[in-house]
Amino acid sequence: MTRRAFPVSLAVSFSVVVALAGCAHPGRAGSGQTQSNVPSPLVDLGNDASDAAAASAPAAAPPAVDPHATAALDSMAQYLRSLHSFEVDADTSTDVVLDNGQNAALVRHAQVKVRRPDGLRAEITGNGNVRGMVYDGRRFTIFNQKKGFYARTDAPPTLDGLARELANTWHIELPLADLFYWGFGQQDDLALTSAQALQLDKVDGRWCTHYAFRQQGADWELWIGQGRRPLPCRMIITDTTQPSRPRHEVTYHWKLGVAFPASTFAFHPQAGAREIEMTPANKPPFEDAE
């Protein structure tokens, strides 16, 4: 049965693969109606009809892109970029669309360990398999345990450089890249057609503010932690280009200030694994469709 995978990297222009500077926020000024500061003669005369009309007049619509919502994204991005060593576990559910149009969820667990500026280990578990990537500041490796192969290549000396090279040359996105490169040298919120803050929710024991965003082809929601650590708690992306509106959902669990041994970022192939050539592709081998 054919299945179409939900595009996780979905342009959420929250997107490409969180930045060094804040974003500009176009389209926010002048969103409300201009009001005159000259008193109306009718109001001065105490005209009841004008009072009633003023009371019934609709309030000015709030801006479609609420600057408080995009400012929350910027604050999250700035905080994430300040982290030097951390581990994040992510429980994910990604819809595929079956031939009959029904959505079916693929459940995965991702564990990402990061030591800036030059260490990354990510393992994605699901369907009885472990796929992953390892980076030590010199070499980048991807592997698929179930299929028994790995591929590696020389890499730039920093994670930021690696993210750009993987995206541009190999069409590979680092796990959580959408979060860590929001605003990276571009105005991501230009793509937003709607952004708003909704309410305060509790996500896995953490108080998080719920935000909703919209852009062409995607609706997405983000819960950001309250307080001095504005970490992402949960994210939902809905593909609005397909009738069944498939979704990608992630819940994040963070550990900060982790001291990793050097072996964390060293790759040792499993017994019998074979090395294959790493060539550009639409998606990395460890994301091959099951």
What is the b/e burial string over 141-167, where b = at least 16 CB atoms within 10 angstroms of the residue's CB?
Answer: bbbbbeeebbbbeebbeebbebbbbbb
120 within 8 A of 114, measured Cβ to Cβ: yes
Tokens representing residue 88 in the block? 């994040």
The residues with which 266 forms a beta bridge, in sequence order, are none
Please check whether residue 109 is in contact with residue 130, taking contact to mean a CB–CB distance below 8 angstroms.
Answer: no
Strands of 99-138 (E only): list them.
103-115, 119-126, 129-135
Q: What are phi and psi of 236, to 5 degrees?
A: -130, 125
Assigned superfamily of 66-287: Lipoprotein localisation LolA/LolB/LppX (2.50.20.10)
pLDDT higher than threshold 90 for residue 8: no
Q: Binning pLDDT at 50, 70 and 90, where does residue 100 land?
A: very high
pLDDT tens for 112-136 read 999 999 999 999 999 899 999 999 9
Q: What is the pLDDT of residue 168?
A: 87
Tens of pLDDT, residues 29-57: 333 333 333 333 323 333 444 444 445 55
Encoded tokens for 73: 């994204």
Query: Which pLDDT tens digit goes with each residue over 167-224?
Result: 888 888 887 666 666 655 555 556 889 999 999 999 989 999 999 999 999 999 999 9
Separation between Cα atoms, residue 229 and residue 231, nearest integer Å = 6
Strand partners, 219: 214, 238
Per-residue pLDDT tens digits for 148-157 = 999 999 999 9
In this predicted structure, what is the pLDDT of residue 61?
Answer: 64
pLDDT digits over 143-177, tens only?
A: 999 999 999 999 999 998 898 888 888 888 887 66
Identify the CA nearest to 113 among candidates 88, 84, 143, 138.
88
State pLDDT tens for residues 56-97: 556 656 679 999 999 998 899 889 888 999 999 999 999 999
Strands 206-215, 218-225: pairing kind:
antiparallel
Closest CA to 80 of 136, 20, 145, 138: 20
C-beta neighbour count of 272 within 10 angstroms:
6
- H-helix or E-strand containing 127? none
Q: Which residue has 């991807």 as its token pair?
A: 142
Q: Give the sign of the dihedral formed by CA 138, CA 184, CA 124, CA 95.
A: negative
